[in-house]
Amino acid sequence: MWTTDGQRGPDIWIRGPVPAPDPVPPPHPPVATPRRFSWVATHGGAGSTTLAAVYGGHDCGRGWPGAGDPPSVLLVARTHATGLESALRALEAFRRGGAPQGLDLDAVVIVADAPGRLPRPLVQRVREIESVIDVYRVPWVADWRLGDLAGGPPRETQPLSRLTGAAAGRAR
């Protein structure tokens, strides 16, 4: 022991051999598993069944996820005026507590209702939705209209594919 100004200092001497520290097992790299989502259609014909089949996850149709369903929610709407309006209503319902407790609203997925560009008024509606939540866009896929889901997600949807853990790459 040593003293300074009458106070005792730390005991720095160790008596006897110092035991070797227990070996620390090497850390296991975390295994990343894709997050599961519940696809919730904001209107009939939104495409939640197709998206669940292509990207994985649970199709809730037009209802909220129930017990045992993934609590992470992706709202689905078409890009026509009625579809975008229904997405805004569903967002408002979620904001006001109209959804069951314990759900996480992760994003809105808008599915093209026709090939080509959106008219300006619809682009403005999409921007309105984007101002409050993440929006993922899915282009028109003619094969899906015919029921052919075998080609996987379109290349343009790589951000959505990363989110859901689906393999993107279909050439369009």
Q: Which residue range forms the structural domain that includes residue 128?
A: 38-163
Q: Is residue 12 a part of any domain in this protein?
A: no
The pTM score is 0.77
Lowest-pLDDT choice from 14-18, 120-124, 145-149, 158-162: 14-18
pLDDT of residue 32: 55
- Structural domains in the chain (count): 1
The one-character DSSP state at 126 is H
**For position 18, what pLDDT does the model report?**
60
Q: So what's the pLDDT on residue 172? A: 43
Residue 171 confidence (pLDDT) = 44
Nearest to 72 by CA among 34, 30, 125, 98: 34
**CATH number of the domain where residue 134 is located:** 3.40.50
Is residue 42, in this structure, part of any structural domain at all? yes
Please report whether residue 13 resides in a domain. no
Asked if residue 87 is part of any domain, the answer here is yes
Structure tokens at 107: 């994003």
Residue 109 resides in a domain:
yes
What are 59's strand-pairing partners?
39
* Whole-angstrom distance, CA of residue 28 vs CA of residue 90: 41
∠ at Cα 39 (101, 127), nearest 5°?
95
3-state secondary structure of 161: helix
